[in-house]
Amino acid sequence: MKRTTLAGLLALLWIPVGFAQDNESGADPTEHLKTMTTALKASKTNDDDERLEAQNQVVGAIDLLLLDFPNYAEKDQKKVVKEIGRLFKFRAKDDEDSLYIAAAAALSDMRIPQAESELKSAMKVKSLEKRVDVQVMLIECLAKHRNEKDIDLFVKLLNDGEQRICVAATKALSEYRDSDEETRKEIVEELVKQYANTNGLNVREKGKNPVWRDRLMAIEVPMNDALAALTLQSFQTAPEWQKWYNDNKGKKW
């Protein structure tokens, strides 16, 4: 049975937990980190019930660390982020992603540079490359940091063969709606190009090729939404967006 975690809820509500405060409460992450480590070791069992219970304990510890995160000293914040980042190297069974999902959700709300770095590193962990749910979550969580240095990565992922990754990358690029005009124009150019290419291939196949038909159906809504957020325009098809962009790329937005 799937478990709704505090980390997951905070990720959905987008409640940032910010940088270190004065630590007046004297909050100490030691016990929660110890619980997380102990439970992680216990999850290496082949007994399904014991393994899932141990994983739930790990997720629970992550929730508590996230809750207390604003009250930790800066050095403890970095320590917590590092320990959560290590979870991505744990080899869970193929259909068990709860540890990774909870870790990514927590790091998305831990607004320090180290958290962003851990998310990027997690995307390169070989054992996670085929876990599409995890990769999608990592993209979504990384995008919430809104670092413009990550734009090239998201643009590259627009061409990923897995359409859910392409959709996640499209949504990630919409997070830059408040960037300057030059940055937004560069993003829009890439989105329009990808949208037009996918639409063109589908038209060329007369809509009969399920690969391109399904891919176009998957990206249409997020692509329209992302372009609307970045341009404050409203169109519903790739040709309409391409025409508008060609007519307005040299104008002030």
What confidence tens digit (pLDDT) does each residue in 39-87 have?
999 999 999 999 999 999 999 999 999 999 999 999 999 999 999 999 9
| Whether 226 contacts 173, CB under 8 Å | yes
| Whether 112 contacts 77, CB under 8 Å | yes
Counting DSSP H helices and E strands in the chain, the numbers are: 12, 0
Contacts of 34 (CB under 8 A, 6+ apart): none
| Whether 147 contacts 175, CB under 8 Å | no
Q: How confident is the model at residue 202, as a pLDDT?
A: 86
Q: Is 211 left (phi over 0), alpha (psi -120 to 50) or beta?
A: alpha
Q: Rounded CA gap, 79 and 60, in Å?
A: 18
Contacts of 64 (CB under 8 A, 6+ apart): 32
Q: How confident is the model at residue 161, as a pLDDT?
A: 87
Other CB atoms within 10 Å distance of the CB of residue 229: 17
Q: Which comes out higher in pLDDT, residue 81 or 208?
A: 81
What angle separates helix 238-248 from helix 210-231, to the nearest 10 degrees? 40
- Overall average pLDDT of the 179-202 stretch: 96
Reading the block at residue 211, the tokens are 């690969």
DSSP state for residue 189 in the 8-state scheme:
H
Q: How confident is the model at residue 26, as a pLDDT?
A: 65
Residue 207 has pLDDT above 90, yes or no: no
CA dihedral sign of residues 226, 232, 235, 240:
negative
DSSP state for residue 79 in the 8-state scheme:
H
Where does residue 114 rank: exposed (0-12), middle (13-18), buried (19+ CB within 10 A)?
middle
Residue 3 has pLDDT above 50, yes or no: no
Of the ranges 94-98, 125-129, 134-138, which one carries the lowest mean pLDDT score?
Answer: 94-98
